[in-house]
Amino acid sequence: MLETAEKVCKTWRSVCRDPSMWRVVDVKNSGSCYDTRRLGSLCRRAVDRSRGELMDINVEYFGNDELLHYISLRSSKLRRLRLSCCRKLAGKGLSEAAKSFPQLQELHILFMNQIDIEDVEAIGLQCSSLRSFTLIKHDAISGVGNGNDCLVAIAKVMPNLVHLRLGFFGSTITNKGYQAILDGCPIVESLVRNHINCDSLNLS
């Protein structure tokens, strides 16, 4: 829409400049040699077009701390944030941006190994309205220890969770971790596990 639709005619140009058209933004790097700086520029333009009305944004295979900071300064109404394979985005950058998303209800972080338990705790403290949280990593969660520690941290700072999805290779979750979620997140309805060891897990 940014590069083609608005050039069709005056009517389409008017539609493309309506902030309500930019409440949902989805920007992906297809994996080609597309200039990531150009994608960042397009993403910024889309955020600007929303005029503070952005509700949902998905960023895949590009993006960094500066881009997320730019989004955070202009998107206080954001309800859903999905970040996938944003390897230049630091955990601290994400936790800092989270301070500007008081209405965030869904946060999905996929294949970003730089995110650790301390980042998860900081994000949870800033986004008290979170109801859906996803953390998928290629490696084990880093920080205090194993998967149990991650669940304990989540239970401590995300009490309003309804949906939780976790996935990290090499981490183990036992009854301790699941009990922490049951105690700390009383309204949780679903917990999806991907590539997690469940040693000594007793579901009885």
Question: What integer pLDDT is reported at residue 9 of this predicted model?
Answer: 60
CA neighbor of 193 nearest in space, from 177, 180, 113: 177
User: What are the CA-CA distances from residue 196 to residues 141, 150, 168 (Å)?
Assistant: 10, 12, 6
What the chain holds in terms of domains, given with CATH numbers, is 25-194 (3.80.10.10)
- 81, 93, 126, 132, 198 from 55: Cα distances, Å: 9, 20, 17, 15, 36
CA–CA gap between residue 82 and residue 69 (Å, rounded): 15
159, 186 Cβ separation under 8 angstroms: yes
Angstrom distance (rounded) from CA 50 to CA 1: 13
| Segments of the chain scoring below 50 in pLDDT | 5, 8, 144, 200-204
Neighbouring residues of 151: CB distance < 8 A, sequence distance ≥ 6? 166, 173, 177, 178, 180, 181
Overall pTM > 0.75:
yes
39 C-beta neighbours (distance < 10 Å), count: 20
Tens of pLDDT, residue by residue over 5-50, are: 455 466 656 667 789 999 999 999 876 656 788 899 999 999 999 9
Rounded-to-integer distance, Cα 108 and Cα 135, Å? 6
Q: For residue 140, what pLDDT is reported?
A: 65
Contact 193, 173 (CB under 8 A): yes
